[in-house]
């Protein structure tokens, strides 16, 4: 009985080692496939990094354009304000000339009436 049990256990052990060898081979093949695939994966990662860099530079240039547009708008507002202030001063000057003119005209008219 003991011999039969030993034979059975040996067969089981043999089967087990065969299975583990197969598993090891499969693992090695899977690892090889993984390493071969990693080369392609590295290329994908590199291209994604390159894409990220180009997007980053695009964003930076867009921010720069936005800043320049903002400064241009600010300077345009400054020019508009100074133009508005010049227009007000010209208008004030015109009023003072007008008042002087009509004041002199009234004085001349009054002087001619007296004569």
Q: For the chain, what are the domain ranges? A: 1-83
More confident residue, 113 or 99: 99
Task: Give pLDDT tens digits for 19-73.
Answer: 666 666 666 767 666 666 666 677 777 888 889 899 999 999 998 888 888 888 8
Residue the block writes with tokens 């043999």: 14
Q: Is the dihedral of CA 42, 48, 50, 56 positive or negative?
A: negative
Distance CA 41, CA 38 (A): 5
The pTM of this model reads 0.40
Q: Is the pLDDT of residue 85 over 60?
A: yes
- How confident is the model at residue 67, as a pLDDT? 87
Q: Is the pLDDT of residue 109 over 60?
A: no
Alpha helices (H) along the chain: 2-114
């Amino acid at each position: 009985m003991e011999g039969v049990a030993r034979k059975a256990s040996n067969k089981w052990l043999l089967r087990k080692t065969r299975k583990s060898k197969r598993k090891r081979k499969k693992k090695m093949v899977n690892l090889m496939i993984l390493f071969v695939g990693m080369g392609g994966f590295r290329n994908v990662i590199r291209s994604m990094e390159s894409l990220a860099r180009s997007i980053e530079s695009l964003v930076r240039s867009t921010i720069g354009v936005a800043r320049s547009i903002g400064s241009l708008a600010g300077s345009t507002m400054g020019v508009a304000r100074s133009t508005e202030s010049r227009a007000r001063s010209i208008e004030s000057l015109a009023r003072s000339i007008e008042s002087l003119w009509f004041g002199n005209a009234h004085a001349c008219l009054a002087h001619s009436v007296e004569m």
